[in-house]
Structure 1
């Protein structure tokens, strides 16, 4: 059994935006082009700049280097090709035409256009008439927004992940901030639904990753803690939720560990272990969950060794080894098999070399 990204439900195709690149997303909801369609509650589903999630790939609003929407749009002089500031600053020659870059100038007008595109991306205006307004003959309607083929949050996450993988961290952080603000607004109007809380927890975790990559440990810790707080209140039945929660807890543990607070690190590692232990009790046939569980065992065991609790450490390492050696994967799980073998190698090293005490932070 597999679970979906918390944003996959927001895509009409049910696809995780983290895995979407240039593939087409099926358009699901169409608004009427004519005035007569107002009776059904919708008007034309047009982005202010003519794009929706299906048609928008790479274009004049994209950086050809990170493949995400432009952030701090900058123009190379003299060739005038445009990229994100962070992306193009790594080059001495224009990466598109090869011309020498004499200087880089901000393009504020283009960035304004990009920001407007993000603000109005692929939204349908929907009109709702309340019962009260019908009774009094009030024709003024409340406007709410929907999406054509991919929800705004899923689109923002997609753009953030493109930027993050290209190491344009400020761009990724900016898009995730907008996404988090959107979700918080929805929580205020719709209440703490499981879907919205799951999405917020995932976005907060990604924001923590951005801060950590930027060297801002304090902010990273804050976002991971908020992510864990939000997700821990939800029923731990969805595998994606379990994974996101346990990863956030482990990352808090990692930061505490590297800061020298071993007791606190063990507390968070143990919480992650308990979450994963409960998950494999419910779904013992999910191979990725078994590997995650073994990683958590290794983390708790490693910090126990650092705290000079050697018996507990050896017990944890041995249980993790037993779990992984008992796991049989098919040929289609090559990536997971590689991870299983990597973790096994680490565990065997811990058994034979008691001097090694750095926690594995791959999960």
Structure 2
């Protein structure tokens, strides 16, 4: 899933700096930067920007190719679909919207600065890749949830390219590295959903590289880093490479353990540690290291049994109970053997 990577730390407000006034942004296509409305450029099936736009014949309604290919009747009007045809003209407009709409960025207002050339106001423009990044990630998440994975991958690839360009200018700042790490993790999810395990590992591995450069106690960055490591471990596990799987699971466990050493030990973090302990222990059992496996399962059980969760956090408590049942089942399985 993409959820854990769903970080909008790079969503910033539009603003305009000029000599005497602030002008509210207005897109001629009706795009609203606050609500992400995209009007006629959206597909009603996936609720995201049109991707590989196709038109139904004879009703002429347009959708993403991947979305409309699942239907025999138009989901908008109910007409029989005789065939679908690529609408390259509309797709070209959508692509221009992505490439050009948010490229002009108004700088933050500086009331002390007066820039006048003759009697004309000067509006200063700058790159807006981060604002565009928030928009692209939002569209990618919509598409991914609707199983339009190619669309999601395309939007995320553009976002990653934008952030890489910023990295070349600004260097490896914590903010940019965390942004790129999260987006690369989402690209890994897309590749995994498409059955491309090799590319998925590549993206997850690069995600780990950039997130590891971030020196922060940010809970979400830590979680995203450990999740990317776990996903590499999962893919290696399914490939049968248990030693590589264990290595990545253990690295994730190490990240999560360090996160709770000098922190308030949020319940979600403790749960993450327990899950990582279970993953490592499961691999140990498959590698015939039963003593290590038993020790890992028991350590995770002890953590969860001592974990106190507020009554209003129902979802977290349900997760704790579920993981605890699994762990107890693993120990019971050994005893029955």
Does structure 1 residue 232 correspond to structure 2 residue 212? yes
Residue from 138, 144, 164 that aligns with 2:126: 144
- Offset of 1:99 from its aligned partner? 1.0
TM-score (norm 2): 0.88
Alpha-carbon distance in structure 2 between the residues aligned to 1:11 and 1:126:
14
- Residue 301 (structure 1) aligned with residue 286 (structure 2): no
- Pair 1:6–1:236, CA change in 2 (3 A): farther
**Alpha-carbon displacement from aligned partner over 1:220-269 (angstroms, at most 9, x marks no partner):** 01000110111112214111110000000011111111111111111111
Q: Equivalent of 1:333, from 313, 322, 327? A: 313
Which residue of 27, 30, 39 maps to 2:15? 30
SS of match in other structure, 2:9: helix
Alignment partner of 1:74: what SS?
strand
- Aligned partner of 2:183 among 203, 206, 221: 203
Q: Judge conservation of contact 2:57–2:84 (CA < 8 Å) in 1.
A: yes
For 2:133 and 2:21, the matched residues in 1 are separated by 22
1:156 and 1:305 map into 2 onto residues whose CA distance is 42
Match of 1:117 among 94, 97, 110: 97
- 1: CA distance between counterparts of 2:246 and 2:58? 56
Contact 1:43–1:126 (CA under 8 A) maintained in structure 2 = no
Cα pair 2:10 2:179 within 8 Å, conserved: no
Find the counterpart in structure 1 of residue 114 from structure 2: none
Q: Deviations over 1:312-362 (max 9, x none)?
A: 100100111111111122232122122212211211111111499xxxxxx
Please give the alpha-carbon distance, in whole angstroms, between the structure 2 residues aligned to 1:284 and 1:56.
Answer: 36
Match in the other structure for 1:24: none
TM-superposed deviation, 1:98? 1.0
Q: What's the counterpart of residue 361 of structure 1?
A: none
Native 8 Å contact 2:274 2:301 kept in 1: yes
Deviations along 1:75-114, whole A, 9 cap, x unmatched? 1111111111101111111111111111111111111111
Query: How far is 1:143 from its partner?
Result: 5.1
Contact 1:6-1:198 at 8 Å conserved across structures: no
Contact kept in structure 1, 2:189 and 2:200, CA below 8 Å: yes
Residue in structure 1 matched with residue 9 of structure 2 by the alignment: 9
Q: Which residue of 1 aligns with 2:166?
A: 186
Q: Which moved more, 1:213-222 or 1:112-121?
A: 112-121
**How big is the alpha-carbon RMSD for the aligned residues of Structure 1 and Structure 2?**
2.7
Question: How far did 1:155 drift?
Answer: 0.9
Number of matched pairs: 321
| Closer/same/farther in 2, CA of residues 283 and 351 from structure 1, 3 Å limit | same
* TM-score, structure 1 as length reference: 0.82
Output aligned runs, 1:207-356, within 5 Å. 207-354=187-334
Equivalence map 1:64-143=2 (5 Å) = 64-125=44-105
The answer to whether the 8 A contact 2:45-2:67 is kept is yes
